[in-house]
Structure 1
Amino acid sequence: MRPAEGACREQLSRIQQSTDFRATEREHRFLDYVVDESLSGRGERIKAYSVAVEVFGRNSTFDPQNDPIVRIAASHIRRSLEHYYLTGGRADPVVLSIPKGSYIPVFSVRAPTEDTASAMAVDVYKPMRPSTSEQAGSNIPAGAVPSSQDVLAQLQRIVSSPEFRRVGRTGVFLSYLVEEALAGRGHRIKGYSIAIEVFKRPESFTQDDPVVRIEAGTLRRELERYYLVAGRNDPVRIGLPKGGYVPTFAWNEPAEPIIAEAVPRPRPLDQIAAPWWRMRWPIPTALAVVAGLVGSAYWINVRPMIDSVRMTGIPVRPTLVVAPFANLGDGPSAELYARGLAEELLTALPRFKEIKVFGRETSASLSPGVGVSQIRNELGARYLLDGSVRTSGSRIRVTVRLLDTSDGSILWSEDYENDLQTRDLFAIQMAVANKVAATVAQPYGVMAQVDSAKPPPDDRGAYECTLSFYAYRAELSVERHADVGVCLEKAVTQYPSYATAWAMLSIVYLDEERFKFNSRSEMPPPMQRALQAARRAIQLDPDNTRGLQALMTALFFNQQFAESMRIGELALATNPNDTELMAEFGTRLAMGGQWQRGAALLDQALPLNPGAAGYYHGTRALAAFMLGDYPAAVAGIRQADLQKFPLFHVVAAIIYAEAGMPEDARREGETFMQMRPDFVPNIAAELKIRNIQPGDQLRLITGIRKAGMPVPDGVEAAITDSTVVSDGH
C-alpha cells in the first residue's frame, strides 16, 4: 500500500535536498517529473518517449532505440537513490525506488520498528553466536564457525529479503554454492560444474564462455550490498572470496552505530587535490621531502604514473582534469548551467577507457580559472579542460577549451550558443557535454591526435599500441596490421590486465580472417582467438566500450548475430558518445539487413570521427547503394578512398557499375581481383560470414557481375535454394 500523497511528496523533497542524493540537475528534474505524474494518477504516461520529450527536450522524432538518454539517466537515479538510503536516508519513514524495467516510481512505508526488529533478531540468535569476548578466548575458541543450521537459516534470510536483488540467477547460484559446501562437496565447486548445473550450459562448455565469472562478480556485489543494508546485524555472514567459488561462513560482527558527519568521507588516492606543502608532516620528514623534490622534479609527474602501473597492471593513459566552469553571467541560469555542465562532462568523459579522468571531488576542489602549473605539479595530469558560461537575456554562450599542462598551450577551443526560449536548459547542457566529450576524448579526438604528434616525456609503453591501432584502422593496410598485431601481443604480455589492449587485439585477430591480413596457421584459428581476446577484455572491465565493441564484432563474424546485436545495444547505452563504437555498430546493423538504422548511426558518427572516416564512408556508401540512393553512394565511396584496403575496391566497383560508370567499375574490379583473387570464387561464403541477407547477397552479386568480375555460375541459384530450404524449416 502506497503512503499518503503528502508523505510521498515530503519524502521526495527530503531526497532532493540531501547532499547524499548524488544526482545531476537533469536527474533531479527526471525524478520530479515521474513522481508528479505518478502521484497525479498519470503513471501510465510515464514512458521513455514522454520523459525524453518533456524532461530532456527531445523533439517528436525521439526514438528510444537510437537514443538511450532516458535509460542512462534512470540507471544513474537508481544508483543515487541506493546510495541515499544507505547513508542519509537510512532511517527515513518512506522508501522511494524506480524498479528496473520501468520508470514508474514506487513508494513504500518503512516499518518504524525496523531497527528494534533487527536488534531482536540479534538477541534471538545470540545463544548460537559467540560474542567478541568469547572469540577472544572464553568458552568458545577464536575462529569458531557457524553450524550448518545457522548457515542454512542465513541463506534463507538472504534469498527471501527484498534487499537481495535477484539479478539473473543469483539466488539459485548462491543456494547451489552454499548447499554444495555444506554437503562436503566444496572440491566440486568449479566453473565447469556451476556452468552445467546452475546456468544450464551444454557439456561442451569451456572457459571461453565467461558466464560463471560474470555472475560470480554480480553475486559478490549483491552480497556486499545486502550486508550494508538489511544484513548489517544478521548473525551469520556468507561471503564469496575473489579467485574462487567456494563460499565462506563466519559470525557477523554487529554493525557499528553510524554518526552522521562524524568523520570526513574518504577520497580515492588519485583524487586528493591538497598541495604537498599543506600536509602535516614532522619537520625532518618534510625537509627530506623538499630536498628530494628539488633534486628530482622530473618524478613529480612520472612517479604517480609508474605507481599507477604497478597497482593496476594497466599502462599509463592520458590524464584529464575538468575544472569548474567560470560563471560570467548575471543571472541564476549561468550558475546553474556552469555546475550542471561540469557534472555532465564528468559523466560522459570517463566512459572513454583510453583516457583517465580525475573524479568529481578533485574537480570540486579546484577554482574556475585554475592554472595549468597547479594541475601539472599537484595532480600530474597532462590535460586540463575548462571554460566559461555567459548569459545575456535568453541567450547562453559556453566556451570550452583543452589545455596542455606541460606548456599551457591551448590545444582546442569551441564556443556553443543556444537560446533558452527555444531549448530546455538541461537538454542544452547535455548536448554540449556530449559534443565536447566526443571531440576531445574519442579515439580519433583531440587528445589522441596530440599524443600522436607530441608524445609526453615519459615512456608511454603499451599506450603507443592503442595509438598505432587507431592509425591502422584509419588506413586498413596489411603492413600496419602486422605492426600493430606484434605491438598489442607484447602489450598484453607486459600488462595482462589492460582490457583495452585485449579488445584491440581481438579486432586485429579478426582481421586475419575477414580481410585475409597476415593470416597465420597457428591454433586456435583467428575467429576463435578474436572471441577469446574480446571475452578476456570484458572479464577485466565489463564496461569497457572497446571491449564491448570487440565482443560484438567477434560474435557477429562467429555467426552469433542476435547476441552480437544485444552486445551492440548494451555498448551504445554504455557510451553513446563513442563514435568509433557508434560507426562499428551501424556497420554491423547495416550488414545484417538493417540498412536504414545502420545508415542513421553512421551519419551521427561521421562528422565527429574524421580519423576513421575512410572505412565508415565506405560502409555508408554501400548503405546508400542498398537503399537505392546511387548519387549518394558515388559521393560516399569517393570520400572513402582506402586504396590499400581490398574491400574498398569491390564496393566501389559495385556502386560504379549500378551508377552507369562502366570504366570506373571495371578499373576498381580489376584492382580488387589483383588484391583478393580468392574472394569472388568463394563469393557465397564471403557474404554469408558477413551475415548479409540472401536478397542483399543477390543484389551485390548482380553488381559484381556488372562490374566484369568472374562470378562462378550457379551461385545465385544456390543462394535461392538455400533460402527456400531454410524457410521450409
Structure 2
Amino acid sequence: MFRRSPVLSGLLRYLVEETVAGRAGTLKSFIVAVDALGRKENFDAASDSSARVQMGRLRKALENHYAQTAIDDTACIYLQPTSYVIRLAPLSVAYPALNRPIAEELHKDGRTPDARPDMTDNNARAETPRASGSRSGRFIRRPYMVWLIVFGSMVLGAALIQSFQLGSKAHETYFSPVLEIIPIDSGDTPEARQTSRLIASLLADDLTRFKISRVRLGDKNSAQGQADDNASIYRLYSRLVTDDAQQATLFLNIDDASSNVLIWSHTLILPKNSEQIRAALIPLMGEINGPHGVIASNEAVITRIGNPGGYSCLLKYFEFIRFDGHVMEQTVADCLEKPVAEKTLAGTMLGVRAIFEIEREKDPKRAAAAYARGIQYARAGVKIAPNDPWANFAMARLSYMKRDCAVARFYTDQTLEANPDSPVFSAVLAGIGPMCNYPGSQSLLDQALQNQSSYYARGRLLLVLASISQNRPEKIDDIYPGERPLSRDNIASYYLTEALIAAARGNRVDAQRYWHMFATHAPANETADEKLRTIIMIPMLRQRVIRYLEDASVAVDKSAEDRSAPPIASDR
C-alpha cells in the first residue's frame, strides 16, 4: 500500500522526524496539514479534515503491514488514536488484535494494552506487569531496551519508509513527478468547447516551462498512481461553467493519483478576451508547478528523509532557500554531488548548483572562489541544456554579480524566453537588471508583480528589493500583503521586508521597529548587518537598501565593504 501512497510515506517520515526531535507531542492537525500534507497556512481547518483522514489511513496501513510481515512479538511502530507520536513496542502491545494469545494473557490481570507505559515518553516508568509469564513484561524490564527503542525508532522508521516508498533498493534516484492535464469538462456549447481548448493549450504550454513536474495530457482513467519510473502522478482536473449571462468560471483541482487525495483547488472568473485569460492564468502556473508551489511542497514532504539523488536534491535546495536553512546546507551540498540519472534535469541541477555555491558562502574573503566554482557549473549547464531556464538564470545572476553586463543582459533574455512565468526569475532579475541598465527592467518588475504567488513567501522581499532597486516605491502597493510566518526560519526575512516597506513609504517609526525585530531574530552568531549582507549579496543593491533605511533614521552599522563603497547618485 505504501509503495502506491507517497502521501502516507511522507507523513510517516514527518512524524518520525518530529518524534525523534521531541516535538511530536505538541503537534496539532493544522500543523500536520501544513507541514506534512502541503496545505497552505490559510486553509480552512474547520472544513478540511485531511490530517485526521490521512492519520487514520496511516494507522490502518501500518496495522495491515504488520499483519502480513510481523513475527511473534516483533518490535513495531504504531500510533495511538488522536496522537501524532510515533511509538515502538512489541506486537502484543502495539497491535493486540494481531497477537491474541498475549493480548488475552495481559487482560487476565485487569490491564489493557493501552495501559502499558509508552517507552518513547521520557516521563514513562518501566512497570512490570503482574503476569510474570508475559513476554512483554520481560521486554520492558530490561533497561537497555529503552536505548534500543530510541535508536530503533529512527532506524526502523527509515527502513519502513524506504521499503514503502521505493519498494526496492534498485531505485537509486528519485524522478520528478508527472502532472497529467485531464480534458476540461466544459459542456456541449461551441463557445465553451473553444474556450476549454484555449485553456488546455495555455496550461500545457506554460506549465511545461517549469522543471518541477513532467507535464503530459491524460484522460480520467490514464493515471494509475505511479509512472513507469516509480515517480508520483498528479492530476489536474478542470471544469468550465458558463452562466446565463455568459460569464465563464473555471474550477481547477489537483489530486494525488496514488491516494485520490485533493491537494489544491482554485476558482477563477474568466475574462472575455483570450489574452486576458492567459494573464489571469499566469499566476497559477507558479502556484501549481513552481519551485515553491503545491506539487513541489507535496513532493518535498515525501523526499524529506534521505538523499536518493536526482529530483529530491532539487527539492532540498528549494527548502534551503525557502527556510534560510543553514542546518540543511551540508545535506544539500552532499545531495548535489550525486549523479543525475534524469537527463532532462541535468542542466537544471547544474544551474541550481551554481547558485548554491554563491548563496552558501558567507565569508567575503571566499566569495571570489565561490563565484569561480559557480560560473563553471553555470557554463556547463547552458552548454548541455541551452534552453534550460535554471542554467540560463544562473548565468545571468552570476554575470550581474561581476558586472559582466553584456553577458548578464543576454542570459536575462534567455531566461525569460525559457520561462517568462516564473515568480522567482522575474522578481530577482527585476531587482538586479538596473545594475547593467537592462532595457526591460521596468516591464520586468510589472511582470513580476503579475506573476507573484502567495505560495512563495520570500517573493515579497524580492519584489520590495526590485521596487527599491528601480526607485519605484509606489510599486510596493501592488505587492500582496504579508502575514507573520509560522515558521521561525522565515521570521527574519519577514521583518526585513516590513522594515524596507516602511522605509520606502517614509514611515520612520515602523521602519525602526521592524529593523529592531529583524536584528533580534538574526542568528546568534550574526549581527543584523551581517545578516543583511547574506540576504543581499550584491553591493550596489545593498547600498541602495541601506540608503532607504538611513533616510528613515534606521541606524545601520555598515560593513567595511559598504563603508568604503562610493555613494550612489541621488535619483529620488
8 Å Cα contact 2:249-2:270 kept in structure 1: yes
Q: What does 1:591-670 align with in structure 2 at a 5 Å threshold?
A: 597=443, 599-613=445-459, 615-616=461-462, 619=465, 622=468, 626-628=471-473, 659-661=507-509, 662=512, 664-665=514-515, 668=518
Match of 2:204 in 1: 346
Change in CA separation of 1:648 and 1:459 when aligned onto 2, cut-off 3 Å: closer
Match of 2:247 in 1: 395
Match of 2:390 in 1: 546
8 Å Cα contact 2:185-2:239 kept in structure 1: yes
Partner secondary structure for residue 413 of structure 1 = strand
Asked if residue 499 in structure 1 is aligned to residue 338 in structure 2, the reply is: no
Q: Which amino acid in the other structure matches residue 327 of structure 1?
A: S
1:39-92 Cα shifts (integer Å, max 9, x gaps): xxxxxxxxxxxxxxxxxxxxxxxxxxxxxxxxxxxxxxxxxxxxxxxxxxxxxx
Q: Which amino acid in the other structure matches residue 719 of structure 1?
A: P
Asked if residue 409 in structure 1 is aligned to residue 261 in structure 2, the reply is: yes
Asked if residue 336 in structure 1 is aligned to residue 194 in structure 2, the reply is: yes
Q: How many Å separate the matches in 2 of 1:473 and 1:688?
A: 14
Q: How many Å separate the matches in 2 of 1:323 and 1:644?
A: 36
Q: How many Å separate the matches in 2 of 1:428 and 1:678?
A: 43
Q: What does 1:117-516 align with in structure 2 at a 5 Å threshold?
A: 316-329=175-188, 331-358=189-216, 363=217, 367=219, 369-370=220-221, 372-373=223-224, 382-393=233-244, 394-418=246-270, 423-424=272-273, 426-427=274-275, 430-431=278-279, 434-454=282-302, 461-491=309-339, 498-513=346-361, 516=362
Change in CA separation of 1:602 and 1:429 when aligned onto 2, cut-off 3 Å: closer
8 Å Cα contact 1:618-1:651 kept in structure 2: yes
Q: How many Å separate the matches in 2 of 1:349 and 1:482?
A: 31
Q: How many Å separate the matches in 2 of 1:580 and 1:375?
A: 29
Match of 1:560 in 2: 404
Q: Which amino acid in the other structure matches residue 390 of structure 2?
A: R
Q: How many Å separate the matches in 1 of 2:558 and 2:226?
A: 62
Match of 2:566 in 1: 719
Shift of the alpha carbon at 1:461? 3.3
Q: Which amino acid in the other structure matches residue 501 of structure 1?
A: M
Uncovered stretches (5+) of structure 1, i.e. residues with no partner = 1-298, 725-729
Q: How many Å separate the matches in 1 of 2:528 and 2:239?
A: 58
Shift of the alpha carbon at 1:317? 0.7
Partner secondary structure for residue 327 of structure 1 = coil
Change in CA separation of 1:527 and 1:429 when aligned onto 2, cut-off 3 Å: same
Shift of the alpha carbon at 1:525? 0.8
Q: Which amino acid in the other structure matches residue 417 of structure 2?
A: A
Change in CA separation of 1:581 and 1:639 when aligned onto 2, cut-off 3 Å: farther
Q: Which amino acid in the other structure matches residue 349 of structure 1?
A: L
1:428-465 Cα shifts (integer Å, max 9, x gaps): 55346535433221111121122123459999632221
Change in CA separation of 1:647 and 1:529 when aligned onto 2, cut-off 3 Å: farther
Change in CA separation of 1:486 and 1:338 when aligned onto 2, cut-off 3 Å: same
Match of 1:117 in 2: none
Partner secondary structure for residue 387 of structure 1 = strand
Partner secondary structure for residue 529 of structure 1 = helix
1:467-520 Cα shifts (integer Å, max 9, x gaps): 11111111223323333222212355998972222111111101134xx17x89
Shift of the alpha carbon at 1:370? 3.2
Q: How many Å separate the matches in 2 of 1:692 and 1:593?
A: 13
Normalised TM-score (structure 2): 0.56
Match of 2:555 in 1: 708
Shift of the alpha carbon at 1:580? 2.0
- Structure 1 or 2, whichever has the larger Rg, is 1
Match of 1:170 in 2: none
8 Å Cα contact 2:381-2:391 kept in structure 1: yes
Change in CA separation of 1:659 and 1:370 when aligned onto 2, cut-off 3 Å: same
8 Å Cα contact 2:351-2:391 kept in structure 1: yes
8 Å Cα contact 2:431-2:463 kept in structure 1: no
Normalised TM-score (structure 1): 0.45
Q: Which amino acid in the other structure matches residue 333 of structure 1?
A: E
Shift of the alpha carbon at 1:689? 4.3
Match of 2:370 in 1: 526
1:321-344 Cα shifts (integer Å, max 9, x gaps): 223223313x21122223332222
* Structure with more relative contact order (C-alpha pairs < 8 Å, separation 6 or more): 2
Q: What does 1:40-189 align with in structure 2 at a 5 Å threshold?
A: none
What RMSD, in angstroms, separates the aligned Cα atoms of the two structures?
5.1
Q: How many Å separate the matches in 2 of 1:567 and 1:592?
A: 12
Partner secondary structure for residue 525 of structure 1 = helix
1:5-38 Cα shifts (integer Å, max 9, x gaps): xxxxxxxxxxxxxxxxxxxxxxxxxxxxxxxxxx
Q: How many Å separate the matches in 2 of 1:456 and 1:671?
A: 26
Change in CA separation of 1:611 and 1:480 when aligned onto 2, cut-off 3 Å: farther
Shift of the alpha carbon at 1:418? 2.9
Q: Which amino acid in the other structure matches residue 538 of structure 1?
A: V
What is the number of residues matched between the two proteins? 399
Q: Which amino acid in the other structure matches residue 616 of structure 1?
A: L
Change in CA separation of 1:675 and 1:459 when aligned onto 2, cut-off 3 Å: closer
Q: How many Å separate the matches in 1 of 2:345 and 2:562?
A: 46
Shift of the alpha carbon at 1:374? 8.8
